[in-house]
Amino acid sequence: MIEPIEKLHIRPQDLQRLLKFLEIHLPDVDVWAYGSRVNGRSHDGSDLDLVLRSPDLSPIDWDKLNALDEALKESNIPIIIEARDWSRLPESFHHEIAKNYVIIR
């Protein structure tokens, strides 16, 4: 089920910073959030789980993924953000994510 972005448990300023990093490092990639920050079970220390989907669902270049990961780690966003490439996840995980997610971009 697709949830509206307002359901995402993240501070607005952190979402804006995240969107900036995504635009810089992966401008053509769709981004979905899933997990506790979507389903309402998060707490202040919960990480933000993201799945990255290239336009044709092919693997995303490792260098681009690593650059995004480094930028997020060095940012002042006060939560851990885990970004995973859709194409490298097992199909069973695709089904779990598809049950409840928020489209970030």
| Catalytic site includes residue 69 | no
**List 49, 61, 69, 85, catalytic entry:** 49
**List 28, 30, 47, 56, catalytic entry:** 47
| Catalytic site includes residue 44 | no
Task: Dig out the tokens for 104 from the structure.
Answer: 């970030």
Catalytic residue positions, numbered: 47, 49
